């Protein structure tokens, strides 16, 4: 079944400027992870904002968990969640209070038990009652992940989930995400600049440049097709407009 279906999505902020996203179409099956790659200004943030209903598309259609985001977005939002290091959680209240707030906003049943379970799984227990603003970057990322999982989402949108984390913590976060996807069949859309992360987590990637999909496929296939050693080199080829010899 399809968790997310995007058809011909376009966003033009101003009529006299090129579109930030143009003609974007893709589908994300349940239980799969899709990577959204592109340099700065490629349209990743704009795309995610449209998928979340924070930004209205100029044209096109988004079906999230069977709900049209233009007409029925709250039904979808209740079953989705989102995490980004660029949108903070209130830092003067405690981690537990933050999770309680979002638990209520998402109408989570058995909230105390859910928070206790997430705290145990994500190793938050020892700082559950500390203000969120006093935590280290790694701890904040784990709290953001707990907030993103509070409603046991069926569709998870992650923007740079391991930005500014040390390799050990980043690896731990990826392992948790993989485990959650396996346990629940959640579909994940991941925007990241970390190519190793994308290669590990994503079964399919969309390469964006200037708002358009310029290539797509499974990471291993893209690497093979471009005749490169890893996805980072493919990314550089696309971003710089250079291609290895023999690539169509």
Partner 1 sequence: MSPLLAAAERVWGLCFRHLALYRRSPPRVIELMYWPILQMVVWGFVTAYLAGLQNNVASAAAGVLLGGVLLWEAALRSQMGFSLSFLEEIWSRNLGHLLVSPIRPAELVAALMAMSLIRTLVGVLPAMGLAFLLYAFNILAIGPVLVLFFAALIVMGWAVALGVTSMILRWGAGAEALAWSVLFGLTPFACVFYPVSVLPGWLQPVALLLPAAHVFEGMRAALIEGRTASGHLAAAWALNAAWIAGMAALFLAQLRAARLRGALLSIGE
Contacts to partner 1 from residues 145-204, by CB under 8 A: 147
Instruction: Check binding of 88 to partner 1 (CB under 8 A).
Output: yes
**Cα–Cα dist 64/86, whole Å:** 23
Cα radius of gyration (the chain):
18
Q: What is the C-alpha separation between 151 and 165, in angstroms, rounded?
A: 24
Applying CB under 8 A, which of residues 8, 25, 41, 56 lies at the interface with partner 1? 56
CB neighbours of 187 closer than 8 A, spacing ≥ 6?
3, 4, 28, 29, 30, 31, 32, 33, 34, 154, 155, 156
Instruction: Output 105 or 113, the one with its CB closest to partner 1.
Output: 105
The reply on whether position 2 binds partner 1 by CB under 8 A is no
Q: How many CB atoms lie within 10 A of CB 8?
A: 12
Q: What six digits make up the tokens of 139?
A: 């701890």
The verdict on 244 binding partner 1 (CB under 8 A) reads: no
Q: How many CB atoms lie within 10 A of CB 113?
A: 10
Binding-site residue total for partner 1 (CB under 8 A)? 36
- The answer to whether the beta carbons of residues 94 and 146 sit under 8 Å apart is no
Token pair 């209520």: residue: 104
Regarding 94 and contact with partner 1 (CB under 8 A), the answer is: yes
- Smallest distance from the beta carbon of 172 to partner 1, in angstroms? 23
Tokens 């991941």 correspond to: 190
Contact segment (CB under 8 A) with partner 1 among 24-32, 104-112, 162-170, 184-192 equals 104-112
Q: Choose between 89 and 177: whose C-beta lies nearer to partner 1.
A: 89
Taking the complex as a whole, the smallest distance from the CB of residue 19 to partner 1 amounts, in Å, to 12
Is 55 strand, coil or helix?
A: coil
**What is the helix (H) or strand (E) element at residue 232, kind and residue range?**
helix 231-240
* Segment 105 to 134, residues that bind partner 1, using CB under 8 A: 105-107, 109, 131
- Would you count residue 85 as binding partner 1 (CB under 8 A)? no
By CB under 8 A, name the one of 100, 152, 210, 233 that touches partner 1.
Answer: 100
Pick from 89, 128, 186, 187 the residue near partner 1 by CB under 8 A: 89
To the nearest whole angstrom, how small is the minimum distance from the Cβ of residue 82 to partner 1? 5
d(CA 218, CA 220): 6
Give the residues lining the site for partner 1 (CB under 8 A): 11, 13, 45-46, 49, 52-56, 74, 77-78, 80, 82, 84, 87-94, 97, 100-107, 109, 131, 147
């Amino acid at each position: 079944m399809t968790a997310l279906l995007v058809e011909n999505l376009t966003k033009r902020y101003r009529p006299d400027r090129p579109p930030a996203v143009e003609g974007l179409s893709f589908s994300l099956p349940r239980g799969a992870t899709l990577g959204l790659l592109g340099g700065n200004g490629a349209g990743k943030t704009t795309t995610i904002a449209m998928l979340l209903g924070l930004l209205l598309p100029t044209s096109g259609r988004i079906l999230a968990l069977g709900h049209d985001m233009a007409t029925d977005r709250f039904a979808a939002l209740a079953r989705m969640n989102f995490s980004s290091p660029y949108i903070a959680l209130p830092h003067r209240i405690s981690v537990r209070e933050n999770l309680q707030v979002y638990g209520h906003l998402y109408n989570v049943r058995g909230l105390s038990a859910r928070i206790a379970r997430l705290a145990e799984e994500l190793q938050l227990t020892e700082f559950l009652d500390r203000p969120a603003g006093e935590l280290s970057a790694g701890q904040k990322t784990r709290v953001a992940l707990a907030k993103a999982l509070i409603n046991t989402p069926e569709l998870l949108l992650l923007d740079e989930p391991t930005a500014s984390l040390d390799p050990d913590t980043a690896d731990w976060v990826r392992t948790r995400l993989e485990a959650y996807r396996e346990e629940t069949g959640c579909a994940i859309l991941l925007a990241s600049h970390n190519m190793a992360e994308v290669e590990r987590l994503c079964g399919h990637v969309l390469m964006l440049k200037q708002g358009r999909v310029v290539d797509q496929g499974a990471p291993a296939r893209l690497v093979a097709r471009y005749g490169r050693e890893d996805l980072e080199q493919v990314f550089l080829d696309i971003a710089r407009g250079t291609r290895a010899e023999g690539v169509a």
